[in-house]
Amino acid sequence: MAPLSRLLFPALLVTGANAHFNVKYPEPIGFEDDSQGAGPCGGLDPDFSTNTVSDFHVGGDSIALLNGHAQVTWIFRATLDQTASGNWTQIFPIVQQSGYNMFCEPEVTVPEEFVGKKGIIGIVSNAPDGLLYACAAVSFVEGAGESQDVCTNSTDVTISFTGDDSLSAMVGEGTTTSDDDDTADPTSTASGSEETGTDDSSARSLRPTIFGVLSAVLMGAAFVV
């Protein structure tokens, strides 16, 4: 009995710790799985007096992510608004990640004019369970960052450039005219969300099935124990 429950306990923990995604670099302001769907920072408010404030090199620095979904699209954005409430600049093209686990982009650049200021790096994931958010509090500095040990791509992950209207609607407020047009056009945003819904539908229907089977197996095993 004891060996079996020892086997089952880690299995239950793994099932319970079903994180949407984690930011491995730069250090995020925090992480709450339950509120990660709340923008702009996953249910957390940046606080530069208590958060770790990392240097982020405008000439190229790393954003390292641990993804808990089969397929997502990502947008990276930055703002000098320390409350993260707006004025976002897109800092990397939107990409799609297929496969779980690590995706790291080591050369994310930020506008030179951010140097010497503090602000927020925001990461938004369009996942099968909705839009998910994380933020890091940073100090923008000159030059290029050193390579980070945590900056890896998992072997079975593929990354491709893509479009995603619900993500591109999250940048550009008050920055460029073309981005303003995107944001102001409800038709393009609406059709974008529909497309995304269709793309994700297979993943969405698969997940509950897997969890249903897993739960049934675990519950069955628990009765045996």
Q: How many chain residues interact with ligand NAG (CB under 6 A)?
A: 12
- Cβ distance to Cu ion smaller for residue 107 or 129: 129
Which residues inside 47-86 make contact with ligand NAG, applying CB under 6 A?
80-81
Report CA torsion sign: 100, 126, 162, 141: negative
Residue from 27, 129, 173, 185 binding Cu ion (CB under 5 A): 129
Q: How far is CA 70 from the centre of its chain?
A: 13
Binding status of residue 200 toward ligand NAG by CB under 6 A: no
Which residues inside 87-146 make contact with ligand NAG, applying CB under 6 A?
87, 89, 104-106
- Measured CA to CA, the distance from residue 219 to residue 209 in angstroms comes to 15
Q: Which does 129 bind (CB under 5 to 8 A by kind): ligand NAG, Cu ion, none?
A: Cu ion
* Candidate ranges 86-94, 114-122, 128-136, 150-158; the one touching Cu ion (CB under 5 A): 128-136
Closest CA to 25 of 62, 57, 69: 62
- Measured CA to CA, the distance from residue 14 to residue 9 in angstroms comes to 9
* DSSP-assigned letter for residue 80: S
Residue from 151, 167, 169, 171 binding ligand NAG (CB under 6 A): 151
Whether cis (ω within 30° of 0) applies to the bond prior to 40 is yes
Please give the structure tokens belonging to residue 149.
């040990």
Which residues contact Cu ion (rule: CB under 5 A)? 20, 127, 129
Which residues contact ligand NAG (rule: CB under 6 A)? 80-81, 87, 89, 104-106, 151-153, 159, 175
